[in-house]
Amino acid sequence: MSNVEVLFQITPVSHLNDGVIAQKIDLKTKPQGSLGKLESLALQIARIQGAECLKINAPTMLVFAGDHGIAREGISIAPSEVTAQMVQNFANGGAAINVFCRQLGWQLEVIDCGILTPSKAEGICLQRLGAGTQAIHLAPAMDIATVDKGFEMARQLVERHCQAGCNLIGIGEMGIGNSSAASAIMAAILKLDVKDCVGRGTGISTEVLARKTELLELALRRHQSELDSPKQILAHLGGFEIVQMTGAMLAAAERDMLTVVDGFIATAAALVAVAIAPNVRDYLIFAHQSEEQGHQAMLAHLQAKPLLDLGLRLGEGTGAALALPLIQAAANFYNQMASFSDAGIEAVV
């Protein structure tokens, strides 16, 4: 597989029935537009599923973990060893994402995409592309063959869940240093200055932020001549978990599955996925607006209106997990809410 380019065949979402779907939503027993974002969400789901009755089946949260060479420069609040410790915490059921998945009805799978030391925790899916990426201010994070290998691994993972009946996945991550990779990806794709993309991650100091910015500016200068395609951007600036997150979004769209995108790092993966295959955008639901600087610009570029704004900056897929009841509510009002004619009420327009 390492010498074969992985291609995704994503069907454009049809808009032929938009009028019929919109009329069904408008004729529910409510003023038009009064359910706000839930109405546009129901329209999005109905476009994809093309069914009279919308269904959210076996929602599955995929949390991708990987380590980053740049973290050795001390640009995060914790050392890289914490990635493996948090993966163990996921396996033990003790993290925020575990709590939210149990509460809200998500199935949870954690994927070791390339943390420094292979996870030995029970139940962790091993899809390792290496033992952490290269430091991107010194060398490419990985080669193109590794990107393709990660894409194929992600495709097989999503296919397994699709075959098990899942039609909605959530995308989360864990990786000390991955906000640096996400910031660099954002700068490269949106052609912005690093200072407009880089943020404090989970809470670094002003001094560390300055160092992080300096290293990312160096990385962008070093690789500038090679950043001529989305996959090259991933290879030079990305992370093993960001590669597989990108591949999972593409693979899910290929199988007509919805993807709930978490925060800043997951949205960086979405930027790459949409750059590779623009049709993937129609299959993405953006869960929340992160506290991370730059996330709002990413969302604007993708013409995304996130469902939540809770001041989150944890990652792990926590924002995506919290969005599930809203997605279910959108499907349920579409399926179950009476129309004016059903209820014998004079239509409100």
* 93 in any annotated domain: yes
Question: Based on the domain organization, do 39 and 90 belong to the same domain?
Answer: no
Distance CA 309, CA 323 (A): 11
Q: Which amino acid is at 163?
A: Q
List the structure tokens of 260: 């709930």
Distance CA 248, CA 61 (A): 11
Does residue 152 carry a catalytic annotation? Answer: no
Give the per-residue pLDDT at 54. Answer: 98
* 28 in any annotated domain: yes
* 186 in any annotated domain: yes
Instruction: Please choose, from the candidates 60, 69, 56, 123, the residue with its C-alpha nearest in 3D space to the C-alpha of residue 97.
Output: 60
Distances (CA, A) of 108 to 89, 216, 240: 13, 33, 19
**How many C-beta atoms lie closer than 10 Å to residue 124's C-beta?**
20
* 144 in any annotated domain: yes
Out of 81, 109, 316, 346, pick the active-site residue.
Answer: 316
| Mean per-residue pLDDT, 99-128 | 97
* 191 in any annotated domain: yes
Average pLDDT over the chain reads: 96
* 152 in any annotated domain: yes
Question: Based on the domain organization, do 260 and 306 belong to the same domain?
Answer: yes
* 316 in any annotated domain: yes
Largest CA distance in the chain: 69
* 349 in any annotated domain: no
The neighbouring-strand residues paired with 286 are 261
The answer to whether 249 touches 281, Cβ cutoff 8 Å, is no
Question: Based on the domain organization, do 140 and 40 belong to the same domain?
Answer: no
Question: Based on the domain organization, do 42 and 118 belong to the same domain?
Answer: no
Asked whether residue 2 carries a pLDDT value surpassing 50, the answer given is no
Question: Domain residues for 50?
Answer: 18-54+333-343
Question: Based on the domain organization, do 26 and 137 belong to the same domain?
Answer: no
User: How sure is the predictor about 298, in pLDDT bands with cuts at 50, 70 and 90?
Assistant: very high
User: How many helices and strands in the chain, by DSSP H and E?
Assistant: 14, 6
pLDDT digits over 255-274, tens only? 999 999 999 999 999 999 99
Question: Based on the domain organization, do 123 and 35 belong to the same domain?
Answer: no
Question: Based on the domain organization, do 167 and 254 belong to the same domain?
Answer: yes
Question: Based on the domain organization, do 338 and 317 belong to the same domain?
Answer: no
Give the per-residue pLDDT at 1. Answer: 41
Question: Based on the domain organization, do 34 and 70 belong to the same domain?
Answer: no
Find the CATH number of the domain harbouring 48.
1.10.1610.10
Question: Based on the domain organization, do 71 and 184 belong to the same domain?
Answer: yes
Question: Based on the domain organization, do 181 and 227 belong to the same domain?
Answer: yes
Question: Based on the domain organization, do 120 and 203 belong to the same domain?
Answer: yes
Give the per-residue pLDDT at 199. Answer: 86
How many domains is the chain partitioned into structurally?
2
Give the per-residue pLDDT at 35. Answer: 98
